[in-house]
Chain A
Amino acid sequence: MPSAEQWNWVFLAYAFTYVVLVVFVASIAVRINAARQRLGADE
């Protein structure tokens, strides 16, 4: 397999990692904010 094609797979892997981690971290942040607002403790 040519090196350029291999790089495509590498970029796909790192993009996948980025999306999964960012979505998970964002979901934690969103849920924390939602819980704080519902508890009426958000400043």
Chain B
Amino acid sequence: MTTRTSRSPRWPWVLLAISAAVAVTAAMVVGPDAVQGQLSRILYVHVPSAWLAFTAFGVTMLMSAMYLWKRDLAWDRRAHASAEIGVVFTGLAIGLGMIWAKPTWGVWWTWDARLTLTAIMFFVYLGYLALRRTTDDLEARAKRAAILGVLAVVQVPLVHFSVVWWRTLHQPPTLIKPEGIDMDASMFVTLMVSLAAFTTAYVAMMYKRVELARLEDELLVAERSTDGPVAGAAVSTPSIDGGA
């Protein structure tokens, strides 16, 4: 077991706070959209949340593939960390989409192709996290999770192109399309600032979440070697004969 005596660095949290403050300020200062009005400000958090979810699941796929190739648990920990963050960003994108949809469409939710596929992706990656809890064997857990991590990423292009392939209530892509960017320059800059802030948040979260995954693995190995939980191992169980 490796023990670490240094305290966890705080720079990721500081970086995260600064980037969030800059992004929120930009989103509040930029002018409203001509059609959507002030509601367009919700898109500066909704769109980056969805993009970072895609990025996180893409990273999970890459890290999973690296684990299957190298069989090094460090890759598995990175895949796990990125998947958990991706689930949070997906939940955030869905929640923010609902908050935007209610005043815009008049409903919180509709079984539109984009929304339905995003919900399925959310539950599949929740399944990925649940799968990791089915065994304490680090290698078996990593192998199972890596296979699912590689396969599940197919949903990312499905979700992205769903608004192109099917007739949906959700609007088609505004930025990533062959005709180029169809957006006012000030709104585009604000969206990019927000995207940079969310990316910074993702990097900071990854740094800390990977550290947590490493500690959890060390704890699992320690518990296995002591044949029980580490905490309380020094406390002897009371017995009838006085514990002699």
Show the binding face of A for B, using Cβ within 8 Å: 1, 3, 5-7, 9-10, 12-14, 16-17, 20-21, 24-25, 28-29, 31-32, 35-41, 43
Nearest Cβ in chain B — how far from A14, in angstroms?
Answer: 7
Query: Would you give the shortest CB distance from A28 to chain B, in whole angstroms?
Result: 5
Chain A contact surface mostly: helix
CB-based A-B contact count at 8 angstroms: 98
- Nearest CB in chain B to that of A2: its residue: B37
CA distance A12 to B95 in the complex (A): 11
A9 pairs with B99, CB closer than 8 A: yes
Residues of B bordering A, CB below 8 Å: 1, 3-8, 13, 16, 20, 24, 27, 32, 37-39, 41-42, 45-46, 49, 85, 88, 91-92, 95-96, 99-100, 102-103, 201, 205, 208-209, 211-212, 215-216, 218-219, 222, 229-231
Q: How far is the CA of A3 from the CA of B3 in the complex (A)?
A: 56
A1 to chain B: closest CB distance in Å?
6
Interface of B is mostly: helix
In the bound complex, residues from chain B placing their C-beta under 8 Å from that of A1 are 37, 103
Contacts of B211 in A (CB 8 A): 32
Q: How far is the CB of A6 from chain B (nearest CB, A)?
A: 4
Considering the chains assembled together, what is the distance between the CA atoms of A2 and B102 in angstroms?
A: 15
Q: B34 to chain A: closest CB distance in Å?
A: 13
